[in-house]
A = this chain, B = another copy of it.
Amino acid sequence: MAERSSSSHPRIDTAAVSDALLGKWKTERLESRKLAADPRLHTVPGQSMDDHRERALEQLSILVEAGAIQRAFPTAVGGSDNHGGNIAAFQELVLADPSLQIKSGVQWGLFGAAILHLGTAKHHEQWLPDVINLQTPGAFAMTEIGHGSDVASIGTTATYDATTEEFEIHTPFAGAWKDYLGNAALHGRAAVVFAQLITRGVNHGVHAFYVPIRTPDGEMLPGVGSEDDGVKGGLNGIDNGRLHFTHVRVPRENLLNRYGDVAPDGTYSSEIESPGRRFFTMIGTLVQGRVSLDGSAVRAMQAALGIAIRYGSERRQFPGASGRETVLLDYGLHQRRLIPRLAQTYAMQFADERLLTVFDEVFSGAKDTDENREDLETLAAAFKPLSTWAALDTLQEAREACGGAGFIAKNRIVGLRADLDIYVTFEGDNNVLLQLVGKRLLSDYAAQFKNADRATLTRAAVNQIGDRVSRFGLRRVGQSIADFGQIARSIESMRSPEAQRELLADRVQTMVGDIALALRDATKGIPKEDGRARAVASENAFNAQQYKLIEAARAHGELLQWEAFTDALEKIADAGSRQVLTWLRDLFGLGIIERNAAWYLTAGRISPHRAESVTAYVDRLISRLRPHALDLVEPFGLTPELLRAEIATGIEAERQQEAHDYVEAQRAAGTWPVHEKELRKQRQAAERESRQAKAS
C-alpha cells in the first residue's frame, strides 16, 4: 500500500477483508483454490468438444486423487460429513474450468448426493464407494424434454411387478425422455432416474431409482437409449445428452427408499403421509445444487471485476486535462459501470456465506428443523437467481469495459460468461425460483392475518404491521407508517443503515401486501360451488400479479443480501476496512433504492427531492470508492494462476509506459514531429498579433 490507513484517509486491511470474505470455510476454500491453480485442471480455449469432454473426465480423477470431492459423504464411505466445507470448496472450482466444476457437480453433487440423501444404508454401501472413486460415472435423470421446472408432472414411469419383484422403468413418449443430463451422452454407467412410482394400480408420485445404463465398455444396456445434446453455448466439457428407457427392469431394491418403499408384494409405505409433502421433502434434499451455484456465480463476478478493474486502472484513452491520456477508471461512466457491481459482489459473497451456514446447519443435523429447512429453501431460491444473473451481467459489463481485449479468449471473460449462461436456468429456473420465494412471502403475509377480516387486511396493507415472521421470511417494518412518506421523514438520513433497511423492507412488505389484496379480490362474487370458475379467476389474477410478485421476491432477496453485508460489517474490527466497506454497503443499499426510485416515488415513500439526493449520494460514494477499487479486488485472492487473463497481468501498464517513454525520448531528442494542428495554432496566433500590431 502506498499510504497507510487513517481516519481521514481510510484504507482497507486486505488480509482482514480477505478473511471476512473467506468466511467459516476458509481452509476448504484455500485448499480448493490451490487445486484450481493446477494447470491440469484448466480450460483450454478452443479445444474441440470431444477433447474437452475427455479432459473433463480425466480432471474428475484428479479431484478424486486430491481428496477434493469426498467431504460431504459420510465417514463410513471415506467422507468427512462436512457439508458447508464441501460446497465452499466446490464453488472455488469455477475458476479452474466451469465444465470440470459442473461435471463434478453432476457426479457427486447430484448423482452421488441423490443416492446419499434419497437412498438408505444398503445403497450407500453398495454404490457410493464406486461413485466417489469414479468407477461409476453417473447421470442425474430428473429433467425430461417435456418437464423441467414441473418435476411432479414428469412422464417416466416405474411400474412395480410383484411377480418378478422388479420395477419397470419406461419413457412412454418423447416428452418423457430424460434430457440435458451430464454424463448421459458418453461417460455415464448408471443413472438415478426419477419416475412416477406405480404399484397396485396407484401412482405414488415421483421417486428415484438406481438404473445401470452402460456396460463398463460403454455399450448401452438393453432397452436404454441415449442421444447426444451436442454442442452447447458453454460447458462443452460435459457430455450432456438424453436417455430413454423402454421397459427396462431393475430389482425392487433399486428404489432409493428413504422416503417411500415398496414391499415385495407391492404394498407401498412411507413415513410421510401426505404425497405432496413427501415429494417436496425428497426434492428438498437436492437444494445443494442451488447453494453451490450461488457462490460459484459470485466467484466468477470476482474474477470479472478483478480483470476489468485492473485493466481499467492501467488502460488510458483520450487525452485528458492532466496532459496525459485519461485512465479509464477515472471516467465517471466507467466508475458507474464497475464500482456498484463491486458493491454487489461483496454483498452477494456475504449472503452466500449465510446461505452456506444454514445449509450446513440443516445437512449436518445441527439444526435440522422444519423451519430451518424451509428457510434454507427460500434463501437458496432467492440468492441463486440474483447471483447467477448478476454474474452474467457483471461478466458482460467487464467484457465490454475491456473492449476488444475482453472478447479474446485468453483474457478469460467470454469463456466464463458462456459457461455460466446456463446457471440461470438449471438447478431451478431463476424466475420459477423467485416465484417460489414470492409465494413464501405471500403465505408469511397471510399468516399474519389468519383470522383477519377484509377491513383489517386492507388497513394492514397500508399500515404494514408485522407479526410472526421467520428468520428469512417476510421482514416487518420497525415502525408503523400510517402516512405516505413518513419513513423518509422519520429517518435522519438515508445514509444510516436503519433508514436503508426500513426503505428496503418496506418495499417488500408493501408490494406483497398489495399483491395479496389483489389476489384476495379475484374470486369475489363467484359462487363457492363454481370451483372451475374460481380456479380460472384465481389463475388470471395470479397471472396479472406474477410479474410484480417476482419483483417483490427480488426485492426480498436484495434486502437479505443487504442484511448479510451489514452483519458482516459488524464483525470487521479494522477501522479503515470498516469505513471503506461501509461506503460499499451504502452504495449497495442506495443503489437498490436508486434503481427502484419509481416505486418509492409512486408509493410516496420518498420525495422527488429525496430521489435526487439518493442519486447524488450514490455518485459521491462511487467517487469516494474509486481510489479503493484495486484494494477492494485484492481480497478476492485472484492469483495469476487463478485469473489467467493476459490483460490483468500488468501488461497494459507496461505498454503504456513503453509508449510514454518512447514519446518522451523523441521529445528529448528533438525528433518528435510537430503536429499540423500546433503549427496552425501558432500561425493563427501570429496573424492575430500582426493584425493587432497593424491596428494599434
A positions within 8 Å CB-CB of B: 45-46, 48-49, 143, 145-150, 153, 155, 172-176, 179-180, 196, 198, 201-205, 229-234, 236, 268, 274-276, 317-322, 325-326, 330-333, 336, 392, 396, 399-400, 403-404, 406-410, 413-415, 417-418, 421-422, 424-426, 429-431, 435, 532, 535-536, 538-539, 542-547, 550, 597-598, 601-604, 608, 611-612, 619, 655-656, 658-659, 662, 673-677, 679-680
Contacts and interface: CB of A to CB of B under 8 A. Distances in A.
Contact of A414 (B233, B332, B408, B604): B233
A543 B330 contact: yes
B403 A674 contact: no
**Leading 6 A-B pairs by shortest Cβ distance:** A233-B414, A46-B231, A597-B598, A321-B535, A231-B409, A332-B543
Contacts of A231: 45-46, 408-410
Contacts of A604: 608
Contacts of A150: 317-319, 325
A276 to B, nearest CB: 7
Contact of A409 (B233, B396, B655): B233
Contacts of A45: 230-231
A546 B333 contact: yes
A274 B318 CA distance: 20
A676 B205 contact: yes
A271 B416 CA distance: 50
A174 B676 contact: no
A175 B656 contact: yes
Given A425-B407, A601-B608, A611-B602, A543 B331 contact: yes
Nearest to A662: B173
Contacts of A146: 655-656, 659
B673 A198 contact: yes
Given A332-B544, A543-B332, A233 B418 contact: yes
A605 to B, nearest CB: 10
A417 B150 CA distance: 28
A524 B136 CA distance: 75
Given A232-B409, A608-B601, A677-B275, A148 B49 contact: no
Nearest to A337: B431
Nearest to A46: B231
A441 B48 CA distance: 49
Contacts of A149: 317-318, 403
Contacts of A611: 598, 601-602
A431 B598 contact: no
Contacts of A403: 148-149, 425, 429
Number of this chain's copies in the assembly equals: 2
A234 B425 CA distance: 22
Nearest to A205: B676
Contacts of A268: 676
A324 to B, nearest CB: 11
A140 B592 CA distance: 44
A202 B321 contact: no
B407 A421 contact: yes
Contacts of A536: 321-322
A322 B537 CA distance: 11
Contacts of A319: 150, 153
B677 A205 contact: yes
Contacts of A202: 673-676, 679
A399 B414 contact: no
A297 to B, nearest CB: 15
B658 A173 contact: yes
A590 to B, nearest CB: 14
A4 B677 CA distance: 67
A604 B609 CA distance: 10
B336 A659 contact: no
Contacts of A601: 597-598, 601-602, 608, 611
A634 B532 CA distance: 35
A179 B404 contact: yes
A333 B547 contact: yes
A462 to B, nearest CB: 15
B417 A233 contact: yes
B409 A230 contact: yes
Contacts of A535: 321
B230 A332 contact: no
B143 A404 contact: yes
B404 A176 contact: no
Nearest to A197: B676
A426 B404 contact: yes
A139 B516 CA distance: 62
A177 to B, nearest CB: 9
B539 A320 contact: yes
Contacts of A147: 317
B173 A677 contact: no
B662 A172 contact: yes
Given A230-B408, A425-B400, A674 B203 contact: yes
Contacts of A603: 608
Contacts of A236: 46
Given A608-B601, A656-B175, A230 B679 contact: no
B396 A392 contact: yes
A184 B143 CA distance: 45
A673 B546 contact: no
27 contacts: A45-B230, A46-B48, A46-B230, A146-B655, A148-B403, A148-B404, A174-B658, A175-B656, A175-B659, A180-B404, A180-B407, A201-B674, A203-B676, A205-B675, A230-B408, A231-B409, A231-B410, A233-B413, A268-B676, A330-B543, A400-B425, A404-B422, A404-B425, A404-B426, A407-B422, A414-B418, A601-B608
A34 B147 CA distance: 37
Given A202-B679, A233-B414, 9 more contacts: A45-B230, A175-B658, A202-B675, A230-B408, A231-B408, A275-B675, A400-B429, A403-B429, A597-B602
